[in-house]
Amino acid sequence: MKQSLKGRDYITTQEWSVDDLEEILEMSHWLKDRRKQKLPQNILNDKTIFLLFFDKSTRTRNSFEAGITQLGGHAHFIDSETSQIAHGETAQDTGVILSRYGEGIAIRHDLVPYEGNAYMREVAKWADVPVINMQCDIDHPCQSIADLMTIRERFGKNLRGLKIAISWAYTPTYAKPLSVPQGLITLMPRFGLDVVLAHPPEFKLMPEQIEIAKKNAADAGVKFEMTDSMEDAFKDADIVYPKSWGILELFGEPQKALEIGKKYKHWKCDEKKMELTKKHSIYMHCLPADRINEVTDAVIDGPHSVIYDEAENRLHTCKAIMGLTM
């Protein structure tokens, strides 16, 4: 275990080198194997992590809570609405006090563009313990590293020459954060994948993240392309990752975004679109998926789908991140 990673914040994957991220993947596999063999994993005995949520969660909360328990520690769940944060307690006071109570702070703050990531960094500025991003407005680094682990389990460590299609998909439910696709387009080129990003014209990602993705692809000698056609993105893809996200300029007016989205109901991952991909292709989704609108049951429950392996790997990678930093 790299002692140099102890105390490090994990706020975006971009701030960690490829070698450092490889440490997460290596430890994730070690922990997964030990769990499979029912061997002890208690590397964080008596350690406490605080899980601060500004948004709802299933996989993230439970992967952290189960994960720290399996490592010998304990998690405290904090709902921002039922804590003093709702009464105006500052990021400074939160960071200082929680640092004195435990060994790690993890935060989900993802619904307001240009707010969540800044809040995490302010907490981290005052905290004496590592701050882990459980999803912000910019990145979802716990999801993307688990996705990378899942891809490697299917295709091996050398991913050069493989194509991942990251596509918007329709849902009428709510305007979801941009952080999952942004985390994918910035991370995957660094590990050798050619990336194609597809979305309707209105559903652009943050321009700063597009520029990072372009630079990462250029530095790695791989492709980063954009299209307004889901079919073009899926053609000859090895990996497809279609999911919904909102309109950056309309996060304060979600109904307007949902109305615009209705023009693109045909942006659905179905069997016909999967036929455009390679025979060995895999379908991925961070979940929860809108089974009626984003994807058909035949795809999400079919032979291409790896969603449950992907969700399981959230546990192992979260444990590795905590184990390396706390």
Residue 181: phi and psi, rounded to 5, are -60, -35
In the sheet where 194-198 sits, what is the strand order? 224-227, 194-198, 163-168, 239-243, 282-283
- Looking at the chain, the domain(s) classified CATH 3.40.50.1370 span 3-140+311-325, 144-307
123 token code pair: 């907490």
CB 9 within 8 A of CB 322: no
Which residues of the chain are modeled with pLDDT < 70? 1-2
Question: Per residue in 205-237, pLDDT tens?
Answer: 999 999 999 999 999 999 999 999 999 999 999
pLDDT of residue 188: 99
Residue-averaged pLDDT of the chain? 97
Cβ–Cβ contacts within 10 Å for residue 314, how many?
26
Question: Per residue in 103-143, pLDDT tens?
Answer: 999 999 999 999 999 999 999 999 999 999 999 999 999 99
pLDDT of residue 2: 64
Confidence (pTM)? 0.97
pLDDT of residue 175: 86
Q: Which CATH class is domain 144-307?
A: alpha beta
Length of the chain, in residues: 326
pLDDT of residue 190: 98
Helix (H) or strand (E) holding 53, with range, is: strand 48-53
pLDDT of residue 1: 59
CATH topology for 3-140+311-325 is Rossmann fold (3.40.50)
pLDDT of residue 4: 86
